């Protein structure tokens, strides 16, 4: 398994992986979407997960914070074994509290932003820290405002999501994830629902986060971003990891035939 | 456990009230619809007092309970001396015609709103298309606006018709022996409320079911006609 | 008629003002209690209709079909006669002979509640179905428990989506209270009837009752509209 490539990240990388997955399977009825995935992410790594649609990359990401329940396999988050119990043909959650706690440690950013539409931007940011993490309102408010300042939305704190552009909504959603002080961030196609002219502002925020040495897993179709920002690329095809490595190696070509085909098809499109 | 002979006896007696229930519903719905067309027309009139009258009519009959409207007509009209001496009095002192009048006025207010809403919902561009073909006035209404509005308003009018079937039950309170009137008599004399409620309720449910099925059928036919025209 | 009118409607010993005012209070109280009871039935009914087990869905379906399809006055009779049949049977078997019945206000609230609940079931159900699944998932992804999600995300949004329909259902509940005059509750219509009978002025007193219904309906409707537009603010661009 490749370790983190950038020096800054390598320093932080502990021996315990941030996320460890063994033999992950996911079935919907007769269809098997994930066919046995083994995967390690170390602290400080920025990993882009690439693949054609239907390759299982989103499902894989969603399994990591158990929005999808794996059908089989083992999952470790920051050294903690997730309590998944076998019942018949499927796994189910053994300890809800553990899952709820771990979910605040690996925060998720969605394709459709999914901000809560009845709350202002600031209320969106403060919701989980206050009600899930039970932190103090004053401290959370300061933290939330700091995050809004960071993503350039402090002047929109009192606005409702419907009053924001897509790019602004996604930046707010990223800030919402950050206020929980997660140890890792999961991005599920964060720019796919955006108008092309709004993609840049979101990618910039993500670039800054990556530069801070945050642990990030990103499902994306932004190839330039994946190549320039990630420390590692994971390429999924038909529910399996088909290629994995440093972006420079993979994007140069000739390392993995399937990946090269994927990239060339992508460039044609 | 169920007393079948009693239930069939109850059913038989109740069914004798069915024709009256259907009559009340049919008459008040048709009179009410005719009235509603006038009210909706008045509501869209350029003459302000006519508009106000229409608005007051709708407001009054939608904003007050139907039972109050029935009492107002049944007990109140007799107080107006000229009316008592008019040729209408033989009708207006009959609970039957009072019930029909109240039901018709009530449904006319709701129906007028349904008509207004349906006509407003006709897409502006379809009207423009009609104008572009040189249509105007009655021709435009008859060929473009009304057919489209009918399609839009039919489903809502269907539920209004169902509400009216239920509403006829209030005629029992001014002595008419339609379904609910008979049910009330049976309950008071036998106190077997649960059996009688089940049988009476089942008859009303059957009526509302038939009514909604009829409207669904009508709607399908209109849609088919429409689809055919589009094709 | 006009000379005695002020006396008839005044608050003096000969006047019907006070009884009518009290009766209006009873009307509002019965409508409010019935509507609130209906909210409980409505939330319960919507939960049943949205439940996974088929049996529960069928129960919810049966509830709304029956109580929306049967005339309200029959439901009033059901609780009036049914209530006294059950209560009398219970008391008699418990060793208290005689005939018993529930207070007409209680019967009225139950009847309005169950009918209103059937309509509210549909309001809550369709509002719930309009929720954005992504926002619920975002809550789950933030570690919210089912209960917290319900309290902070699902319930507030469902209520907002249901509010316009609930406003109409409230107006129906208000008007339905008039049916309770039939079982002896001295609400507005019955009080107006009593006054009409003893003064031989039915036109006047029924017209007043109508005016009071209009005023109550208008006032509460305006309040609900304001609440609605306030709560809809987040969805406006």
Q: Tell me the ipTM for this assembly.
A: 0.92
Residues of A near C (Cβ–Cβ under 8 Å) read: 65, 67, 96, 99-104, 107-108, 110, 112, 114-120, 127-128, 131-133, 160-163, 173, 176, 180
- Give the three-class secondary structure for A83: coil
**Does A11 reside within a domain?**
no
Mean pLDDT within B2-10: 88
Q: Could you tell me where the DSSP H helices lie in C70-103?
A: 72-93
Contact B201 C69 (CB under 8 A): yes
Q: Distance of CA C223 to CAs B111, C29, C124, C188, C226, Å?
A: 26, 17, 20, 22, 5
**Does A34 reside within a domain?**
no
The band of B142, judged by pLDDT with boundaries at 50, 70 and 90, is confident
Report whether B145 contacts B122 (CB < 8 A): yes
The domain total for chain A is 1
**Does A119 reside within a domain?**
yes
- Rounded CA separation C208/B35 (Å): 25
C205: CB partners within 8 A, 6+ apart: C16, C192, C193, C195, C196, C199
**Does A124 reside within a domain?**
yes
The band of B84, judged by pLDDT with boundaries at 50, 70 and 90, is confident
- Give the DSSP letter of residue A4: -
Contact C81 B167 (CB under 8 A): no
The per-residue pLDDT of chain B, averaged, comes to 91
Say which of C71, C192, C201 has its CB closest to residue B166.
C71
Order across the sheet with A19-28: list the strands: A31-41, A19-28, A72-77, A80-81
Domain limits for position A220: 44-66+97-268
- Give the DSSP letter of residue C103: -
Mean pLDDT within B38-65: 94
**Strands A46-50 and A215-219, sheet pairing:** parallel
Report whether A61 contacts A97 (CB < 8 A): no
- Give the three-class secondary structure for A211: helix
Residue appearing with tokens 């309001």: C123
CB contact C155 to A (< 8 Å): no
The secondary structure of C201-227 as a DSSP string is -HHHHHHHHHHHHHHHHHHHHHHHHHH
- Rounded CA separation C166/C177 (Å): 17
CB contact C26 to B (< 8 Å): no
Chain C meets chain B (3+ C-beta pairs below 8 A): yes
To probe the interface with B, which of C76, C196, C202 has the most B CB atoms within 10 Å?
A: C202
**Strands A72-77 and A232-237, sheet pairing:** unpaired
**Does A72 reside within a domain?**
no
* B229 pLDDT above the threshold of 60: no
Residues of C in contact with A118 (CB under 8 A): 153, 156-157, 160, 234
Please report, for the domain that includes residue A50, its CATH number.
3.40.50.300
**Does A39 reside within a domain?**
no
Distance from CA of A7 to the nearest CA of C (A): 31
- Rounded CA separation A113/C82 (Å): 54
Please give chain A's pLDDT, 269 residues, in tens. Answer: 344 444 444 444 457 899 999 999 999 888 999 999 999 999 999 999 999 988 999 999 999 999 999 999 999 999 999 999 988 778 899 999 999 999 999 999 999 999 999 999 999 999 999 999 999 999 999 999 999 999 999 999 999 999 999 999 999 999 999 999 999 999 999 999 999 999 999 999 999 999 998 999 999 999 999 999 999 999 999 999 999 999 999 998 888 889 999 988 877 76
- Rounded CA separation A247/B149 (Å): 61
Tell me the per-residue pLDDT of B14-31, one tens digit each, with 9 for 90 and over: 999 999 999 999 999 999
Closest residue by Cα to residue B72 from B40, B39, B106: B106
Chain mean position to CA B66: 12
Residues of B near C (Cβ–Cβ under 8 Å) read: 59-60, 63-69, 71-72, 75-80, 162, 166-167, 169-170, 172-173, 180, 183-184, 187, 191, 193-194, 197, 200-201, 204-205, 208-209
What's the burial of A99, exposed, middle or buried (CB within 10 Å: 0-12/13-18/19+)? buried
Residues of C in contact with B72 (CB under 8 A): 202-203, 206-207, 210
The band of B143, judged by pLDDT with boundaries at 50, 70 and 90, is confident
* B230 pLDDT above the threshold of 80: no
Closest residue by Cα to residue B63 from C175, C55, A181: C175
CATH class of the domain at B4-230: mainly alpha
Report whether C116 contacts C169 (CB < 8 A): yes
Distance from CA of C146 to the nearest CA of B (A): 37
The pLDDT score that the predictor gives to residue C108 is: 96
The continuous run of DSSP H or E covering A157 comes out as none
Report whether B56 contacts B109 (CB < 8 A): no
Say which of B71, B76, B205 has its CB closest to residue C70.
B205
Q: Would you tell me which CATH number, out of the four given (3.30.420.40, 1.10.3720.10, 3.30.1540.20, 3.40.50.460), belongs to the domain C2-232?
A: 1.10.3720.10
User: Helix C54-69 crosses helix C17-50 at what angle (to 10 degrees)?
Assistant: 150
Report whether B72 contacts C207 (CB < 8 A): yes
> In the structure encoding, which two tokens stand for residue A91, read together?
């796994």
Residues of C in contact with B195 (CB under 8 A): none
- Give the DSSP letter of residue B141: I
Can you give the residue ranges of every domain in chain C? Answer: 2-232
């Amino acid at each position: 398994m490749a370790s983190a490539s950038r020096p800054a990240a390598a320093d932080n990388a502990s021996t315990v992986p941030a996320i460890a997955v063994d033999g992950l399977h996911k079935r919907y009825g007769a269809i098997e979407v994930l066919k046995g995935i083994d995967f390690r992410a170390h602290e400080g790594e920025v990993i882009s997960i690439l693949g054609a649609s239907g390759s299982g990359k989103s499902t894989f990401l969603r399994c990591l914070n158990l929005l999808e329940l794996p059908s089989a396999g083992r999952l470790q988050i920051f050294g903690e074994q997730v309590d998944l119990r076998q019942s018949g043909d499927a796994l189910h959650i053994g300890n809800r509290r553990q899952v709820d706690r771990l979910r605040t440690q690996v925060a998720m950013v969605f394709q459709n932003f999914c901000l809560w539409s009845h709350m202002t931007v600031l209320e969106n940011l403060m919701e989980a820290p206050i009600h899930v993490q039970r932190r103090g309102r004053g401290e959370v408010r300061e933290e939330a405002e700091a995050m809004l300042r960071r993503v350039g939305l402090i002047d929109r704190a009192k606005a409702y999501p419907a009053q924001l552009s897509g790019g602004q909504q996604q930046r707010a959603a990223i800030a919402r994830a950050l206020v929980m002080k997660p140890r890792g961030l999961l991005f599920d196609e964060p720019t796919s629902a955006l108008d092309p002219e709004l993609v840049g502002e979101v990618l910039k925020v993500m670039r800054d986060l990556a530069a801070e040495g945050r642990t990030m897993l990103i499902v994306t179709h932004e190839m330039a971003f994946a190549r320039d920002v990630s420390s590692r690329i994971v390429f999924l095809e038909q529910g399996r990891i088909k290629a994995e490595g440093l972006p420079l190696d993979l994007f140069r070509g000739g390392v993995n035939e399937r990946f090269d085909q994927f990239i060339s098809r992508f460039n044609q499109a | 456990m169920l007393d079948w002979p009693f239930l069939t006896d109850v059913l038989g007696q109740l069914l004798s009230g069915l024709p009256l229930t259907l009559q009340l519903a049919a008459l008040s719905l048709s009179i009410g619809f005719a009235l509603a067309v006038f009210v909706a027309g008045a509501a869209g009139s350029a003459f302000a007092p006519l508009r106000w009258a229409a608005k007051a009519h709708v407001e009054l009959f939608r904003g007050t309970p139907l039972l109050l409207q029935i009492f107002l007509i049944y007990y109140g009209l007799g107080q107006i001396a000229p009316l008592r001496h008019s040729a209408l009095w033989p009708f207006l002192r009959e609970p039957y015609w009072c019930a029909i009048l109240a039901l018709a006025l009530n449904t006319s207010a709701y129906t007028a709103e349904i008509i207004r809403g349906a006509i407003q919902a006709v897409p502006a561009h379809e009207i423009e298309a009609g104008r572009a073909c040189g249509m105007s006035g009655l021709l435009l209404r008859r060929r473009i606006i009304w057919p489209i509005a009918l399609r839009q308003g039919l489903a809502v009018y269907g539920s209004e018709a169902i509400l009216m079937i239920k509403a006829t039950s209030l005629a029992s309170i001014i002595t008419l022996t339609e379904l609910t009137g008979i049910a009330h008599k049976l309950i008071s004399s036998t106190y077997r409320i649960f059996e009688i409620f089940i049988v009476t309720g089942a008859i009303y449910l059957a009526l509302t079911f038939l009514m909604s099925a009829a409207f669904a059928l009508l709607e399908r036919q209109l849609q088919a006609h429409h689809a055919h025209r589009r094709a | 008629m006009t000379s005695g009118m002020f006396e008839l409607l005044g608050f003096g010993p000969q006047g019907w003002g006070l009884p009518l005012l009290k009766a209006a209070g009873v009307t509002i109280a019965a409508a409010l209690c019935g509507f609130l009871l209906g909210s409980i039935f409505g939330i319960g009914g919507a939960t049943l209709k949205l439940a996974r087990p088929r049996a529960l869905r069928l129960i919810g379906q049966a509830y709304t079909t029956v109580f929306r399809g049967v005339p309200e006055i029959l439901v009033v009779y059901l609780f009036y006669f049914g209530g006294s049949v059950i209560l009398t049977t219970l008391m008699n078997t418990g060793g208290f002979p005689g005939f018993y019945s529930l207070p007409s206000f209680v019967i009225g609230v139950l009847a309005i509640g169950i009918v209103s609940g059937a309509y509210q079931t549909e309001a809550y159900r369709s509002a719930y179905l309009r929720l954005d699944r992504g926002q619920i998932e975002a809550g789950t992804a933030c570690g919210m428990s089912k209960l917290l999600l319900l309290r902070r995300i699902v319930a507030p949004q469902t209520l907002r989506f249901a509010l316009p329909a609930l406003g109409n259902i409230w107006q129906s509940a208000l008007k339905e209270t008039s049916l309770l005059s039939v079982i002896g509750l001295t609400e507005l219509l019955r009080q107006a009837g009593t006054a009409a009978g003893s003064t031989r002025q039915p036109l006047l007193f029924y017209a007043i009752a109508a005016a009071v219904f209009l005023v109550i309906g208008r006032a509460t409707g305006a309040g609900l509209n304001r609440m609605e537009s306030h709560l809809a603010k987040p969805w406006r661009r």
